[in-house]
Amino acid sequence: MPDTPVPPTPPVPLVALLAREDLGLRRIAGPDDPGIVIHWAHTSEMADPYPYLLGGELLLTAGVHVPEAAGSGTYFDDYVSRIVAAGGAALGFGLAPVHDSVPRALVAACDTHGLPLLEVPPQTTFSGVARAVWQLMAQARLAELRRVTEAQQSLASAASRPDPVPSVLRRLAQRLGGRAVLYGPDGAQIAAAGRETAREVREALAGLAGVVRPTGAQASSAGPSSRPSPGPSSSSAAAPSSATDTVLGTHLAVYALGTGQGFVLGVASDRREPGDHTIASVAAVLLSLLTGEHQSGAGTARSSALVRLLLGAPPEDVAPLLGARRWVVVHARPDGQAPDAVAASALGAALGSALVDLADGVVRVLVPADREPAAQPGWALGVSAPVAPDDWPAADTQAARALARARATRTALVRHGGRPGLADLVPPGEAESHARALLGPVSAHPALTETLRAWLSLHGSWDRTAVALSVHRNTVRQRIARCAALLGTDLDDPDVRMELWFALRNL
């Protein structure tokens, strides 16, 4: 049989199904092993159910397929052996209307082949048994989701402690009931937590870590007990992100951290629950953040650049430490609520830069010019022209103006054009002061300001503005009329519209 396809729900222990008093099931043959589990329930009256089983089933039958002389031959032995060969977990035999009792030959065959045999009383329907299986699965799934959620919260809390790496490892070891180890790029153990394991297990876990380490030479150092993914063994082959093995009854799992620096998380535990992989993956992500660029040359260089800027070094001298000669500045604002530090960091990661600043509801990102910024879902972006470090302040102004244009036209991304515009003729400080003075009567009403911006950007179209703002066209008319009254001006005058648009771009 091929590997049994496992459904995305925790299995049901057979003892839990037998404990349901409403079903009245009774085990009358086969092993009494508390570790036997059921993945689903299936009803079949076929004499050979093998082709219809996936493995892990509780097979339910009323014995309709049983011939009259079955008890004197090999029928039941052949029948049970086929169920076992198909991977069936247990057999349920229903009493009435075909059989008043479970055939003795079937009981003997189940004992011989080690298949649990359940007697299903007449008042219990097969659909009721199947429903009970799914109910128990749902309860187990809910309990597993709760366990995973609590573990995620616990790991996140540990990551915020003063000693984040040891804290995360300790919490992970507690949640999985085993040992957690962080290996460095050279394969050496950096930190560990949890109960000690046998020497063979420690060596196997360290060897398995070499399978997922990105360096080919180090990956080839895995011990004989490891189980690498199939494929080319040359150093150019990409290493898997995770690997598992079992040594001396201990489950081993390793995860390559996403830093690309060669850090690996290893876990050893006596049992392997369905949610353990998710919990360990969360820990791997947190450890990736904790051992990321702050531990690498890039993080050190960035810190050095910041220190030198603070100590008075010119930007052109500091830029080589940041790894690029030309840069673009990106200004961004989300479509909905104001951004927070997490959203700003995520945006920087999406744009390929860790040089992120958040202030006054605007996220500013300094991006190497060879990484072309792309539109991001839920954000409005303004991108400057590529500049050298000594032109960073000018690029910052360009990005701010491009963002204003993007928000006014509801465009996901606007790039600064090479042609100088009217705004370039007015110093930014003076332009902002003029904008605040001109728009003062309406700036206290965000809805009016936003409507005026959209209406002007859409050339005074009532219908298109209504669609853009998701309001009725009469609402747009009322707001624009209110703007005209507060500003004391004629909004049909093109000169007035031009001046207001200039002011809105600098507000």
370, pLDDT greater than 90: no
Q: What is the pLDDT of residue 131?
A: 94
Segment 8-28 shows an average pLDDT of: 90
Q: What is the pLDDT of residue 360?
A: 82
Q: What is the pLDDT of residue 114?
A: 96
Quick one: tokens of 470?
């998701």
The model's pLDDT over 409-429, given as tens digits with 9 standing for 90+, comes to: 788 999 987 555 555 556 667
Rounded Cα distance, 141 and 375, in Å: 38
239, pLDDT greater than 70: no
Q: What is the number of helices (H) and of strands (E) in the chain?
A: 17, 17
The residue to which tokens 């011989």 are assigned: 112
Asked if 262 and 335 sit in the same domain, the reply is no
Q: What is the CATH number of the domain that holds 53?
A: 3.40.1390.20
Confidence of residue 217 (pLDDT cuts 50, 70, 90): very low
Secondary structure (H, E, C), 342-404? HHHHHHHHHHCCCCEEEECCEEEEEEECCCCCCCCCCEEEEECCCECHHHHHHHHHHHHHHHH
Asked if 87 and 185 sit in the same domain, the reply is no
More confident residue, 401 or 421: 401
Residue 218 is assigned to a structural domain of this protein: yes
Give the residue from 246, 272, 294 where a domain finishes.
Answer: 294
DSSP 291: T
Pairing type for strands 327-334 and 356-359 reads: unpaired
Segment 349-375 shows an average pLDDT of: 85
Q: What is the CATH number of the domain that holds 258?
A: 3.30.450.30
CA–centroid distance for 377 within its chain: 17
**Residue of 264, 300, 290, 294 whose CA lies nearest to 165:** 290
The model's pLDDT over 136-170, given as tens digits with 9 standing for 90+, comes to: 988 888 888 888 888 888 888 888 776 788 889 99
Q: Is this model's pTM higher than 0.85 or not? A: no
DSSP lists the bridge partners of residue 117 as 29, 91
Confidence of residue 74 (pLDDT cuts 50, 70, 90): very high
Asked if 405 and 444 sit in the same domain, the reply is no
Segment 200-228 shows an average pLDDT of: 65
Q: What is the pLDDT of residue 302?
A: 66
Quick one: tokens of 358?
């958040």
DSSP lists the bridge partners of residue 485 as none
Confidence of residue 82 (pLDDT cuts 50, 70, 90): very high
Q: What is the pLDDT of residue 216?
A: 45
Describe the crossing of helices 473-487 and 446-457 by its angle, rounded to 10 degrees.
100
Quick one: tokens of 79?
């029948």
DSSP 90: E
Residue 144 is assigned to a structural domain of this protein: no
Segment 317-333 shows an average pLDDT of: 81
Q: Could you give the 3-state DSSP secondary structure of residue 184?
A: coil
Asked if 415 and 432 sit in the same domain, the reply is no
Residue 269 is assigned to a structural domain of this protein: yes
Residue 289 is assigned to a structural domain of this protein: yes
Residue 151 is assigned to a structural domain of this protein: no
49, pLDDT greater than 90: yes
Rounded Cα distance, 151 and 176, in Å: 9
Confidence of residue 81 (pLDDT cuts 50, 70, 90): very high
Q: What is the pLDDT of residue 235?
A: 39
Asked if 340 and 375 sit in the same domain, the reply is yes
Quick one: tokens of 8?
């995305």
Residue 309 is assigned to a structural domain of this protein: no
Residue 311 is assigned to a structural domain of this protein: no
The model's pLDDT over 109-127, given as tens digits with 9 standing for 90+, comes to: 999 999 999 999 999 999 9
Question: Which range has the worst mean pLDDT, 285-289, 350-354, 424-428, 434-438?
Answer: 424-428
The model's pLDDT over 248-307, given as tens digits with 9 standing for 90+, comes to: 889 999 998 875 667 899 999 988 887 888 898 888 888 887 776 444 555 566 667 777
Asked if 404 and 444 sit in the same domain, the reply is no
CA–centroid distance for 34 within its chain: 34
Q: What is the largest CA-CA distance in the chain?
A: 106
Asked if 183 and 279 sit in the same domain, the reply is yes
> In whole numbers, what is the pLDDT of the chain averaged over residues?
83
Q: What's the full length of the chain, in residues?
A: 507
Pairing type for strands 356-359 and 379-383 reads: unpaired
Full domain range(s) for residue 73: 12-136
CB atoms within 10 A of CB 316: 13
Sign of the alpha-carbon dihedral angle for 255, 257, 261, 264? negative
Confidence of residue 502 (pLDDT cuts 50, 70, 90): confident
For the ranges 77-91, 279-293, 427-441, the maximum mean pLDDT occurs at 77-91
Asked if 179 and 119 sit in the same domain, the reply is no
Confidence of residue 337 (pLDDT cuts 50, 70, 90): confident
Rounded Cα distance, 86 and 242, in Å: 30
Let me know the angle formed at the C-alpha of 484 by 479 and 485, rounded to the nearest 5 degrees: 95
25, pLDDT greater than 90: yes
What number of CA atoms fall less than 13 Å from residue 477's CA on the CB side?
Answer: 5
Asked if 450 and 489 sit in the same domain, the reply is yes
Q: What is the pLDDT of residue 215?
A: 55
More confident residue, 32 or 72: 32
More confident residue, 220 or 185: 185
Residue 154 is assigned to a structural domain of this protein: no
Asked if 121 and 43 sit in the same domain, the reply is yes
More confident residue, 262 or 342: 262
Confidence of residue 226 (pLDDT cuts 50, 70, 90): very low
More confident residue, 474 or 161: 474
CA–centroid distance for 498 within its chain: 47
Q: What is the pLDDT of residue 184?
A: 83
Give the count of domains, the chain.
4
478, pLDDT greater than 90: yes
User: Above pLDDT 90, what percent of the chain?
Assistant: 36
Strand residue runs (E) in 210-354: 242-247, 250-256, 264-269, 327-334
Describe the crossing of helices 473-487 and 428-443 by its angle, rounded to 10 degrees.
110
Asked if 409 and 433 sit in the same domain, the reply is no
Q: What is the CATH number of the domain that holds 432?
A: 1.10.10.2840
Pairing type for strands 117-120 and 178-183 reads: unpaired
CA–centroid distance for 385 within its chain: 34
Q: What is the pLDDT of residue 260?
A: 63
Rounded Cα distance, 396 and 329, in Å: 6
Asked if 241 and 340 sit in the same domain, the reply is no
Q: What is the pLDDT of residue 424?
A: 53
